[in-house]
Amino acid sequence: MGRKNVTCTFCDNLCSLAANTRDDCVSLRPANPEILQICPKAHMWEEYQQHELRITKPLKNVGKRGEGIWEEVSWNTVLDEIAEKLQGVIAKWGAEAIGISECAINHGFGGITRRFMNCIGTPNYIAPQHLCMGNTAQVHRATYGWYTTANWDKADVIVYFGQNRGSELWPGEYFKLKSALKRGAALIEIDPKTTETASLADHHLRIRYGTDTALLLSWINVVINENLYDEKFVAENTYGFDDLKKRVQIYTPQWAEKACGINAETIRLTARIYAGAKAAIIPWGVVGDMQKNSTSMLRCQCILRAICGYINVSELVFGPATGFITNSELAGFDLLSNEQKAKQLGTENYPLFTFKGGSHYEAALHEVGIDHYPDILGCSCMAHPPTLFAAMREEEPYAVKAFFAVANNTIMSYANQQGIVDAFMNQELVVAFENVMSPTAQLADYVLPGDMWAERDVLGPQLDVAPVVTFSEHIACPVEECKDWYYVVKGLADRLGLSEQFPWQDSHALHDYRLGKLDETWNESPGTVIPLTPAAFGKFLTPTGKVELRSTVLESLGYDPLPYYLEHGEEGVDESEYPFVIFAGYRERPNYNTCLRHIKALRQRQSEPLLFINPSHKDEYDLEEESWVKVSTTLGSIELMAHLDDTQPPGTLRIPHGWWKPEQPQGLSADLSKATQHNDGVLFSDADWNLDKEQGVVNLRGGVRAKIEVLKTQRT
């Protein structure tokens, strides 16, 4: 019998699990005693590993793109051919013509893809963190110089913006929430819908979709005008308070009541509860990352934490970690020339995420001895996804002609899905590194069989946000020819003459190199978490060295340095023709984003994509439970199964994210296994009107209009 520690990455809760093996049988339980039970998804790992839809050999498409006539090839052949095609693209179009979308937490090798890209000379990296935590990270950085982490142990007031947590929906935080509530903490939940979490709240504010910034601005108004703020912290540690005070005067609770639909008295009451707490927290939530007012919304949250005196009390700002080769250090951003950095797509229109935005922190970092570029969440220096897809499609401002989808279902996990499909069709090379034949992989020229979490040894975390090193050990061997991502990168690097920058023969040698600074090796350390020293705990690595209530970074990039409110709404749309407001989300327990729908026991629990609609619309549309409904926006249409739900506000629709049917035929002519028939990305535009002004993040949360039509039969 043996015991190993393994991290499940079937979702981004990244649960640490204890695996016990007896007679070849592995049992899993949570390693952390605070997590009372493991969610059922992790137990499905063997079915996932052995599934008939698992990709187990390198595949080459010998038909047209999207036709999926697959031929098995050897690893040597596939790496030779890809390397040769990359050289061709670089020679003809320049290295910047290579784009990559990656979710490193899914494959376990943070930093290594950036290193590869930096060495070949392309800045055009994107990650789905653009819609999840990444933009929060940029705004936190602009305000505090680094990311804040909520300290749950002390929290006496918790403010949630649309988070819905459960034992299968981010259980790590769910169990923290439950124990905080048990010891008497108050929960303020802001959600238009009555969710499971909202029903636990002391104050549930049923806000109008997409209007959170109005509420937050008026909270700041109340906190300042009623002198509820921490005068000492503000005087000693912040920059721009007087300007902020002037700005928020127009955002009175009466004004906000009209904008967000919450009455002025409730706004005042909840502002006082938040400001009057000993240790309030506003934990990260994805709602702020997917709004048209995203930057202002997140700025307001950052400002509230600071002026109410919670920074480094219940909201911790660690700064970058030292004493270990972090993902950012491994990435080697100095290997990419300034000339190539300047070509990063998005630098002109949405620079906060890009190298240009990041350059503002160099002096402050230098002062604390950090001379490399710290990339907080694997996306602090990335290209703007809609601008990259446009360059792939339209070859403007220059052509991008080769694209890698690395453990990311790219066509489904951004907006304007058809636009991304068109972008793929205009490529000279498309490579997918995958576990299954995802809709994205169906459009690839080469599909590379990746290993899964149970099969690899992983040094984590993949994102440089917390000052720790973690270890996850394999509990099974990779099936057939599945390989880890480092094997692919190393194989390509050797073929492209970059062996010097990738001297580590395999992933263990790479782990040992990274652990060297800690005097540890992979073989001696597994099974533990090693805490790291934060380089700048208590310091603010902003240009002014203060918490910037007025952002000098936003200002120097040409934006409003203070938060403001912008009404959502689709320009030029006839609201009588498109009477509903839609949002994407309300995550489903038995699946994760676009994943796991091929696992039988999970799929049985949620077999179809559900449209939540208030029963008050029943008669008008001749609608019944389980009717198939066509939902259309000005961009596209999808088909969903109706679920009449009286907690879904009238006039609004919930659109699920990530639906395709892995069991269905593949390829473009078969709707990419129904991805083009069901996924939310078909409905949401990535044109400027639907983007946050500062960071260019797509609004998936309120404001986009839709119409519905009940279908007699579902299209097959």
Ligand X SMILES: Nc1nc2c(c(=O)[nH]1)N[C@H]1C(S)=C(S)[C@@H](COP(=O)(O)OP(=O)(O)OC[C@H]3O[C@@H](n4cnc5c(=O)[nH]c(N)nc54)[C@H](O)[C@@H]3O)O[C@H]1N2
- Residues in contact with ligand X by the rule CB under 6 A: 11-12, 103, 106-107, 128, 131-132, 161-164, 168-170, 190-193, 195, 207, 209-210, 212, 285-287, 407-409, 412-415, 433-436, 438, 450, 452-453, 583-589, 591-595, 657-658, 680-681, 700-702
Stretch that binds ligand SF4, among 10-18, 314-322, 562-570, 633-641 (CB under 6 A): 10-18
**Closest CB 484 distance from ligand SF4, rounded Å:** 19
**Closest CB 680 distance from ligand X, rounded Å:** 5
Residue type, 624: E
Q: Between 11 and 668, name the residue whose CB sits nearer to ligand SF4.
A: 11
Does the footprint of Mo ion cover residue 132 (CB under 5 A)? yes
Q: Between 256 and 452, name the residue whose CB sits nearer to ligand X.
A: 452
Q: Is the peptide bond before 283 cis (omega within 30 degrees of 0)?
A: no
The secondary element (H helix, E strand) that includes residue 16 is strand 16-22
Lay out the site mask for ligand SF4 across 161-180 (x = CB under 6 A, - = otherwise).
----------x---------
**Closest CB 137 distance from Mo ion, rounded Å:** 13
The pair phi, psi for residue 330, each rounded to 5°, is -60, -35
Name the β-bridge partners of 592: 595
Stretch that binds ligand SF4, among 12-20, 270-278, 514-522, 703-711 (CB under 6 A): 12-20
Q: Between 355 and 404, name the residue whose CB sits nearer to ligand X.
A: 404
Cα 100 to the center of its chain, rounded Å? 16
**How many residues are present in the chain?**
716
- 3-state secondary structure (DSSP) of residue 62: coil
Angle between helical axes of 212-225 and 294-307 (0-180°, round to 10) = 30
Among residues 391, 415, 418, 386, the alpha carbon closest in space to that of 402 is found at: 391
Stretch that binds ligand SF4, among 7-15, 225-233, 336-344, 359-367 (CB under 6 A): 7-15
Q: Between 557 and 595, name the residue whose CB sits nearer to ligand X.
A: 595
38 binds, among ligand SF4, ligand X, Mo ion, none (CB under 5 to 8 A by kind): ligand SF4
Does the footprint of Mo ion cover residue 38 (CB under 5 A)? no
Does the footprint of Mo ion cover residue 11 (CB under 5 A)? no
Rounded Cα gap, residues 433 and 485, in angstroms: 8
Stretch that binds ligand SF4, among 5-13, 93-101, 577-585, 599-607 (CB under 6 A): 5-13
Q: Between 14 and 670, name the residue whose CB sits nearer to ligand SF4.
A: 14
Q: Between 475 and 493, name the residue whose CB sits nearer to ligand SF4.
A: 475
Cα 323 to the center of its chain, rounded Å? 27
Q: Between 517 and 589, name the residue whose CB sits nearer to ligand SF4.
A: 589
Contact 222, 268 (CB under 8 A): yes
**Closest CB 454 distance from ligand SF4, rounded Å:** 11
Q: Could you tell me how many residues of this chain bind ligand SF4 (CB under 6 A)?
A: 11
492 binds, among Mo ion, ligand X, ligand SF4, none (CB under 5 to 8 A by kind): none
**Closest CB 6 distance from ligand SF4, rounded Å:** 10
Q: Would residue 619 show up in a list of annotated catalytic residues for this protein?
A: no
**Closest CB 591 distance from ligand X, rounded Å:** 6
662 binds, among ligand X, Mo ion, ligand SF4, none (CB under 5 to 8 A by kind): none
The DSSP secondary structure of 688-716, one letter per residue, reads GGGB-TTT--B--EEEEEEEEEE-SS---
Q: Between 328 and 591, name the residue whose CB sits nearer to ligand X.
A: 591
**Closest CB 453 distance from ligand SF4, rounded Å:** 9
Residue type, 69: I
Among residues 206, 121, 167, 123, the alpha carbon closest in space to that of 11 is found at: 167
**Closest CB 657 distance from Mo ion, rounded Å:** 9
State which of positions 35-54 bind ligand SF4 (CB under 6 A): 38-39, 41-42
**Closest CB 647 distance from ligand X, rounded Å:** 9
228 binds, among ligand SF4, ligand X, Mo ion, none (CB under 5 to 8 A by kind): none
586 binds, among Mo ion, ligand SF4, ligand X, none (CB under 5 to 8 A by kind): ligand X
Residue type, 714: Q
Name the β-bridge partners of 707: 632
Stretch that binds Mo ion, among 23-31, 130-138, 139-147, 531-539 (CB under 5 A): 130-138
Rounded Cα gap, residues 404 and 447, in angstroms: 10
15 binds, among ligand X, ligand SF4, Mo ion, none (CB under 5 to 8 A by kind): ligand SF4
DSSP class of residue 569 equals -
Alpha helix (H) residue ranges in 559-617: 600-605
Q: Between 464 and 588, name the residue whose CB sits nearer to ligand X.
A: 588
Q: Could you tell me how many residues of this chain bind Mo ion (CB under 5 A)?
A: 1
171 binds, among Mo ion, ligand SF4, ligand X, none (CB under 5 to 8 A by kind): ligand SF4
Does the footprint of ligand SF4 cover residue 697 (CB under 6 A)? no
Q: Between 361 and 453, name the residue whose CB sits nearer to ligand SF4.
A: 453
Q: Which of 12, 202, 422, 512 is catalytic?
A: 12
Angle between helical axes of 241-248 and 212-225 (0-180°, round to 10) = 120
Among residues 214, 211, 210, 155, the alpha carbon closest in space to that of 188 is found at: 155
Does the footprint of ligand SF4 cover residue 145 (CB under 6 A)? no
The DSSP secondary structure of 458-502, one letter per residue, reads EEE-SSTTSSEEEEE--SSPPPTT-B-HHHHHHHHHHHTT-GGG-
The DSSP secondary structure of 373-433, one letter per residue, reads ---TTS-TT---HHHHHHHHHH--SS---EEEEESS-GGGSSS-HHHHHHHHHT-SEEEEE
680 binds, among ligand SF4, ligand X, Mo ion, none (CB under 5 to 8 A by kind): ligand X
Rounded Cα gap, residues 407 and 598, in angstroms: 17
Percentages helix, strand, coil for the chain (3-state, rounded to 5) are: 35, 20, 45
State which of positions 513-572 bind ligand SF4 (CB under 6 A): none
Residue nearest to Mo ion (CB): 132
700: tokens are 């998936």
Say which residues have a Cβ less than 8 Å from residue 205's Cβ, sequence separation at least 6: 188, 189, 190, 191, 215, 262, 266, 270
595 binds, among ligand SF4, ligand X, Mo ion, none (CB under 5 to 8 A by kind): ligand X
Q: Between 399 and 406, name the residue whose CB sits nearer to Mo ion.
A: 406
**Closest CB 13 distance from ligand SF4, rounded Å:** 4
Does the footprint of ligand SF4 cover residue 11 (CB under 6 A)? yes
Say which residues have a Cβ less than 8 Å from residue 145's Cβ, sequence separation at least 6: 317, 319, 361, 364, 536, 539, 540, 541, 542
The secondary element (H helix, E strand) that includes residue 101 is strand 98-102
Contact 201, 157 (CB under 8 A): no
Does the footprint of ligand SF4 cover residue 10 (CB under 6 A)? yes
**Closest CB 123 distance from ligand X, rounded Å:** 20
Does the footprint of ligand SF4 cover residue 14 (CB under 6 A)? yes
**Closest CB 458 distance from ligand X, rounded Å:** 10
Rounded Cα gap, residues 264 and 468, in angstroms: 43
**Closest CB 593 distance from ligand SF4, rounded Å:** 11
191: tokens are 């959600």
Does the footprint of ligand SF4 cover residue 461 (CB under 6 A)? no
Beta strands in 163-210 (DSSP E): 186-190, 203-205
8 binds, among Mo ion, ligand X, ligand SF4, none (CB under 5 to 8 A by kind): ligand SF4
The pair phi, psi for residue 419, each rounded to 5°, is -60, -35
The Cβ of residue 27 has, within 10 Å, a number of other Cβ atoms equal to: 12
Say which residues have a Cβ less than 8 Å from residue 607's Cβ, sequence separation at least 6: none
User: At which residue do the structure tokens 């936190």 appear?
Assistant: 140
691: tokens are 């983007």
Strands 402-406 and 429-434: parallel
Residues that bind Mo ion (CB under 5 A): 132
Q: Catalogue the active-site residues.
A: 12
Residues that bind ligand SF4 (CB under 6 A): 8, 10-11, 13-15, 38-39, 41-42, 171
